[in-house]
Structure 1
Amino acid sequence: MTAPRLPLFLMLAGLLGLAGCATHQPVSLYQLDSGNPAQPAQSAGMAVLLGPVVVADYLQRETLLQRQDDGSLQGSVDGRWAGSLSSDINQLMLRQVAGHLDSQRVVLSPAPTSFSPDVQVLLTITRLDSGASQPAILDAQWRLIDRRGQVRDNRIVHLQEQHAGSTASQVQAQGVLLQRLAEQLSVTLKPLANQPPIAEAPRKQAPAPAKPAAPEKPKIPMASPIRTDMEVFRF
């Protein structure tokens, strides 16, 4: 009675195995493309402190998000970020800015205590996404603070890049947007390399110690003539 059922059981097990393989498709991992920035040669070039770089909360995840036609975001089913997207953005911007400025003195925040920057870049990434039928879009804002603590530039940037529709082309387009952002930022940074040095405040001289007062000499009463009513007669 049970023998005829054995092939049917094996068939069902095989179908379930195939279904399991179909649902566990390999997922591709992606990183942002930093392009081919020039290798900076100047060890004494412009000193730039890059950061803090703030990335929008919705990008703080491994899932590669896809922008839909209605504006909503959905996680990609065939792609993930290979690591931290924030770290990728930091490294891409660092390499690009250093290459454009030809300076080895571009560092990420927090900087070493001995590092004295010519300018600090406060960068915020508020949007970086794309979709199969949506272009890659980057929204960002930067503030440049010179060595005196004064804001030298404040700019809001909106960039857009078309792509072929595949996940790989979308990631490539997002990398291109960040490269363009770094190029625009570098153009704004270059004039700040020739800042005059900060003059040191003149040191106040310590007041000279007060000389001890000389002892007062005793006052001698002055003799005053004495007048009398007597008259002197001469003969």
Structure 2
Amino acid sequence: MSALRIPLLLLLTGVLGLSGCVSFQPVPLYKLDSGNPGVPAQKNGPAVLLGPVTVADYLQRETLLQRQPDGSLLPSSTGRWAGSLSADIDQVLVRQLAWRLDTQRLVLAPAASGFTPDVQVLLNISRLDSGPQQPAVLEAEWRLLDKQGQLRDSHLIRLQEEHLGTSADQVRAQSLVLQRLAEQMATTVQPLLKEPPVAETPRKPAASKPQKAREPAEEPKIPMAAPVRTDVEVFRF
């Protein structure tokens, strides 16, 4: 009997393993869509530095999170990101901003040494998510620095887009709010690029210290003659 049990157990194990393989289905992978931005025509356009771009910690993962009606977040069982969501966000913004500002001189921070931006865009994304019954929502803040590194503008924004509830349509909606963010950022950057460069105020030469009047040279002192002693006693014999 024991000899018959071993083949039977092996057969059952094989059947269960085969059924598991048959029922397994790969999870779809998604990437953000950058839309249809054109290629910038100006190779020598304005120099723009995008970044640092900071993304909320909860988005630093490959899991496609689903916003629930009570505000909580759950990992999706029907999809995940195809790689880093932060890298996807960077690429969408770079392509959209370069196209809208018509410049090929837009780089992502940190820039190479020697690159001097006319404008720097600092961006913080604090929210980008959706759910089966919740719209896609993006919340962000950006600041603009001029060539001298001075703060010139600051904006807070909240964008929302409805969808059909599926994972694919949620990703579409999130891509749209990110493209709209790039559009509004470009609108605030353009006036700053059109401003004439601020001329640097020439530095005044340091005032030279007035030279002291030269004192007349002292006349050489003539040594005084020492008096000859006349009180020498003379002895006579």
| Bucket of the pairwise TM-score, normalised by the shorter protein | 0.7 to 0.9
**Which consecutive segments of 4 or more residues in structure 1 shift more than 6 A?**
2-8
Single out whichever of 94-103 and 152-161 deviates more from structure 2: 152-161
Written as runs of structure 1 = structure 2, the 5 A alignment for 1:120-199 is 120-199=120-199
Written as runs of structure 1 = structure 2, the 5 A alignment for 1:78-97 is 78-97=78-97
Q: How many residues align?
A: 218
Written as runs of structure 1 = structure 2, the 5 A alignment for 1:1-235 is 1=1, 9=9, 12-13=12-13, 15-21=15-21, 24-205=24-205, 207=208, 210=211, 213=214, 215-216=216-217
Q: What is the aligned-residue RMSD (CA, Å)?
A: 2.6
Q: Give the Cα separation in 1 of the matches to 2:121 and 2:152.
A: 10
Q: Residue 29 of structure 1 aligns to which amino acid in structure 2? A: L
TM-score (norm 1): 0.82
Once the 2 structures are TM-superposed, how far is the Cα of residue 23 of structure 1 from its aligned partner?
6.4
Q: Give the Cα separation in 2 of the matches to 1:164 and 1:8.
A: 49
Q: Give the Cα separation in 1 of the matches to 2:191 and 2:173.
A: 29
Q: Give the Cα separation in 2 of the matches to 1:205 and 1:161.
A: 60
For each residue in 1:92-144, what CA deviation from the matched residue of structure 2 results, as whole angstroms up to 9, or x when unmatched? 10110000011111111111221121211111111100111211111111111
Q: Give the Cα separation in 2 of the matches to 1:21 and 1:132.
A: 29
Q: Residue 50 of structure 2 aligns to which amino acid in structure 1? A: L
Once the 2 structures are TM-superposed, how far is the Cα of residue 68 of structure 1 from its aligned partner?
1.3
Q: Residue 40 of structure 2 aligns to which amino acid in structure 1? A: P
Single out whichever of 11-20 and 121-130 deviates more from structure 2: 11-20
Shift in CA distance, 160/217, structure 1 to aligned 2, threshold 3 Å: same
Q: Residue 198 of structure 1 aligns to which amino acid in structure 2? A: V
SS in 1 for 2:160: strand
SS in 1 for 2:33: coil
Once the 2 structures are TM-superposed, how far is the Cα of residue 196 of structure 1 from its aligned partner?
2.5
SS in 1 for 2:79: strand
Shift in CA distance, 9/198, structure 1 to aligned 2, threshold 3 Å: same
Q: Percent identity?
A: 61
Shift in CA distance, 179/135, structure 1 to aligned 2, threshold 3 Å: same
Once the 2 structures are TM-superposed, how far is the Cα of residue 22 of structure 1 from its aligned partner?
6.1
Once the 2 structures are TM-superposed, how far is the Cα of residue 15 of structure 1 from its aligned partner?
5.0
SS in 2 for 1:135: strand
Q: Give the Cα separation in 1 of the matches to 2:199 and 2:184.
A: 31
SS in 2 for 1:97: helix
Q: Residue 70 of structure 1 aligns to which amino acid in structure 2? A: D
SS in 1 for 2:86: helix
SS in 2 for 1:149: coil
Q: Residue 123 of structure 1 aligns to which amino acid in structure 2? A: L
Q: Give the Cα separation in 1 of the matches to 2:201 and 2:153.
A: 26
1:26, 1:78 within 8 Å by CA — same for their partners in 2? no
TM-score (norm 2): 0.81
SS in 1 for 2:125: strand
Shift in CA distance, 75/216, structure 1 to aligned 2, threshold 3 Å: same
Flag structure 2 segments of 5+ consecutive residues without an equivalent.
Answer: 220-237
Once the 2 structures are TM-superposed, how far is the Cα of residue 65 of structure 1 from its aligned partner?
0.5
Q: Residue 89 of structure 2 aligns to which amino acid in structure 1? A: I
Once the 2 structures are TM-superposed, how far is the Cα of residue 28 of structure 1 from its aligned partner?
1.5
